[in-house]
């Protein structure tokens, strides 16, 4: 047990086989469970301890909030650290945050035991990083997922380059460029979650886990866990999927062209009669041109890299964003001053040069890469 005011709560519960399940609960509802470095630094060692404990059969990660599993990383804190850093220097606190956050995400991707992520409510940015690597990704009737980093001058990180580049068709690129919001049906259709369950079934799942007998073997236990989640049934009145309804349209809009050809077609969606597509087009038009170009470059490279190499490349890109104008400006406009009028530099996609993108991706460290040990 951990103190009830801790940013992450930890507990274990017994099962019929004598094994236990670990439970980690994000516990910062006032901030929609925005991921902070103390939360990362609490999760990583506890997950490691459970991974090496033969009595722990699996892990459940959830959140103490009816509104959000995790609405993203604490980018306002990163903004303040960037603003306090002298020009030309690498902001040390953001660099450390990205390193440890990505290390945690990789730990979940490679976890040796069944790992359930109960993604109820808002799941964005850093929350996607926690969820994407879980072996059992569960959405509910109120799940809302997105990678909206283009609105703050960042890019879909936390392994987003890996995940989005592997979605079918042009979905991954569309989601990165538009920050489109997905409901549970959308996320399941895209392959971004494995199950849709009623949020009211959360307690029933925990009870079923407790009554089950576990083998202590990942494949067999994973299969049993899947059956338990499926037995919860589907949520009543589950919303239809606008992504599925518009998937062919998305592929036509993006085609197989480069970003400069795609951009006017995406921008034109802002006038579409479909409100979901119209919002996507509007978000793209108002987003950072540099973020758009950087997202495309990362997805192109991620297709040919290992997961560990993607996290290493994303770390370089994230640190690069802290040293350029758009990331702090985007956070300022959306979350600090809240004027929603970012002054992007450059302001037009035509002025985003290959050299600017390479400057974002250039290594900003000496010696071994901070994530060199990821295998």
For 173-221, how does the pLDDT look when each residue is reduced to its tens digit (9 = 90+)? 999 999 999 999 999 999 999 999 999 999 999 999 999 999 999 999 9
330 catalytically annotated: no
Is the pTM higher than 0.95? The answer reads: yes
Give how far Cα 203 sits from Cα of 3, 128, 200, 229, 252, Å: 21, 23, 7, 11, 43
Is residue 37's pLDDT more than 70?
yes
Give the active site residue among 125, 126, 129, 320.
Answer: 126
Q: What is the mean pLDDT of the chain?
A: 97
For 66-96, how does the pLDDT look when each residue is reduced to its tens digit (9 = 90+)? 999 999 999 999 999 999 999 888 999 999 9
287 catalytically annotated: no
Give the active site residue among 157, 186, 314, 326.
Answer: 157
Task: Calculate mean pLDDT across residues 279-290.
Answer: 98
Is residue 2's pLDDT more than 80?
no
pLDDT band at 1 (very low <50, low <70, confident <90, very high): low
Give the span between the Cα atoms of 185 and 143, in whole angstroms: 9
Separation of first and last alpha carbons in the chain: 32
329 catalytically annotated: no
62 catalytically annotated: no
The predicted pLDDT at position 87 comes to: 85
Full set of structural domains in the chain with CATH: 8-361 (3.90.226.10)
């Amino acid at each position: 047990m951990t103190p009830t005011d801790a940013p992450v709560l930890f507990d274990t519960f017994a099962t019929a086989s004598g094994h236990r399940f670990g439970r980690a609960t994000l516990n910062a509802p006032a901030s929609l469970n925005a991921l902070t470095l103390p939360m990362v630094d609490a999760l990583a060692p506890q997950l490691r301890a459970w991974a090496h404990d033969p009595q722990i059969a699996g892990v459940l990660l959830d959140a103490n909030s009816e509104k959000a599993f995790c609405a993203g990383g604490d980018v306002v804190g990163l903004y303040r650290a960037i603003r306090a850093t002298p020009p030309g220097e690498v902001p040390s606190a953001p660099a450390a945050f990205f390193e440890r956050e990505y290390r945690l995400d990789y730990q979940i991707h490679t976890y040796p035991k069944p790992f359930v992520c109960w993604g109820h409510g808002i799941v964005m940015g850093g929350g996607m990083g926690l969820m994407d690597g879980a072996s059992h990704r569960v959405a509910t009737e109120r799940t809302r997922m997105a990678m909206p980093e283009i609105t703050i001058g960042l890019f879909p990180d936390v392994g987003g380059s890996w995940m989005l580049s592997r979605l079918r068709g042009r979905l991954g690129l569309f989601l990165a460029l538009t920050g489109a919001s997905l409901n549970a049906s959308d996320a399941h259709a895209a392959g971004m979650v494995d199950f849709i369950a009623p949020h009211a079934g959360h307690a029933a799942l925990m009870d079923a886990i407790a009554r089950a007998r576990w083998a202590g073997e990942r494949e067999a236990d994973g299969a049993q866990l899947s059956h338990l989640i499926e037995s919860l049934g589907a949520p009543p009145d589950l919303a239809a999927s606008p992504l599925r309804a518009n998937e062919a349209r998305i592929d036509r809009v993006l085609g197989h062209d480069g970003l400069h050809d795609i951009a006017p077609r995406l921008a034109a969606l802002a006038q579409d009669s479909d409100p979901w597509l119209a919002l996507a087009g509007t978000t793209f038009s108002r987003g950072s041109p540099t973020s758009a170009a950087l997202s495309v470059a990362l997805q192109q490279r991620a297709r040919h890299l290992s997961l560990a190499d993607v996290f290493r490349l994303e770390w370089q890109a994230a640190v690069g964003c802290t040293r350029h104008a758009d990331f702090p400006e985007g956070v300022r406009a959306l979350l600090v001053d809240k004027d929603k009028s970012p002054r992007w530099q450059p302001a037009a996609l035509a002025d985003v040069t290959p050299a600017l993108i390479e400057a974002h991706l250039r290594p900003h460290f000496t010696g071994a890469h901070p994530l060199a040990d990821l295998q």
